[in-house]
Amino acid sequence: MNKKTIRTGIFAGVLLLTLNAFALTQPLSVTGYARETPPGAPMSAAYLSLHNTGEQLLQLTAVELPGIDGGSVNLHTTGLEDGISRMRPLDKLVIAPGEQLQMTPGGVHLMIHGVRLHAGVSLPLRLLFSDGTSLQVQVPVMGLKAVEKDRHRHHRSAG
Ligand SMILES: [Cu+2]
């Protein structure tokens, strides 16, 4: 291999990395947290804020727990049916361009089964979209008391 071939090879490598970075970047800003699993409960929940900063409609179709065997995540919403608060599964979450979708206790949330979440660790989530792309994020697991405190603080600031 002469000098020229080596240089071309390096250039191709850089180009490939750049393309990959583009392919992996979703115009979506994700923040949020998971709640620690309550004692004796079989499941917990996570609440994300999804801000679509791009110009395309994004459809979140599934969420996985990478590296956690036996764990599963379902998209849920909570609503009143005949005056009773009930959760029901959602096929997908549609996030319009510019929209910020906020999951909340009592609203849309991620239901997490098959794994015990402990406060202080971070939980990896892989978001899968209808166009075949995915985005992996990490959210902190918050203790039940911290979650309560945070909710009160929001109440106060909202008046
Ligand atoms: Cu649920």
The CA 35 to ligand 1 mean position distance, Å, reads: 12
153 alpha-carbon distance from chain centroid = 23
Q: What is the pLDDT along the chain (159 residues), one digit of tens a residue?
A: 555 554 554 454 444 444 444 444 678 999 999 999 999 998 999 999 999 999 999 999 999 999 999 999 999 999 888 888 899 999 999 999 999 999 999 999 999 999 999 999 999 999 999 999 999 999 999 998 877 776 666 554 433
* C-alpha distance from residue 77 to each of 9, 103, 116, 154 (Å): 51, 9, 22, 21
Phi, psi of 145 (to 5 degrees): -65, -40
The CA 17 to ligand 1 mean position distance, Å, reads: 39
Ion ligand 1: residues, Cβ under 5 Å: 76, 87, 111
pTM: 0.78
Walk me through the domains of the chain, giving residue ranges and CATH numbers.
Answer: 27-157 (2.60.40.1890)
**Six token digits for residue 48:** 């994300």
